[in-house]
Amino acid sequence: MASMLFIMAKGIADLAGNAFVVFSPLVGVLGAFMSGSNTVSNTLFAGLQFETATILLLPQVLIVALQNMGGAIGNMVCVNNVVAACATTGTVGNEGKIIRTNIVPCVIYCAIVVIVVGGLIVAGFNPYPLP
């Protein structure tokens, strides 16, 4: 019997195909935005990312690295961090504006990461190939 994680990964793999590389860091961003932490984002989604990469025969290490980078990038739009920054700087009430302002650099950073890691994948780089 297949696990729930495998079934979810299979559905994502069927839906996204090899374009999953583009969505992988966005999953990390979403996890950091929801949870407030890259660590929790990785705990939530790294297994799913690994399983999806395995199904798609993509380098698992690079896909999980995209997840991790996305989580780190997502900290700039994380509600917890924005609220803490506003409270510290005395700009309470501007949280929504700050999050909206930071979305553009967040997307740009994700695009840069996808281009770099996607280029490595297209070039055939795999630090730990499947046996």
pLDDT, tens digit (0-9, with 9 covering 90-100), for 7-66:
999 999 999 999 999 999 999 999 999 999 999 999 999 999 999 999 999 999 999 999
Span 91-110, average pLDDT:
97
Ranges of each domain in the chain? 20-122
pTM, rounded to two decimals: 0.92
pLDDT of residue 1: 74
Please write down the HEC assignment for all residues of the chain.
CCCHHHHHHHHHHHHHHHHHHHHHHHHHHHHHHHHCCHHHHHHHHHHHHHHHHHHHCCCHHHHHHHHHHHHHHHHHHCHHHHHHHHHHHCCCCCHHHHHHHHHHHHHHHHHHHHHHHHHHHHCCCCCCCCC
The rounded mean pLDDT for the chain is: 96
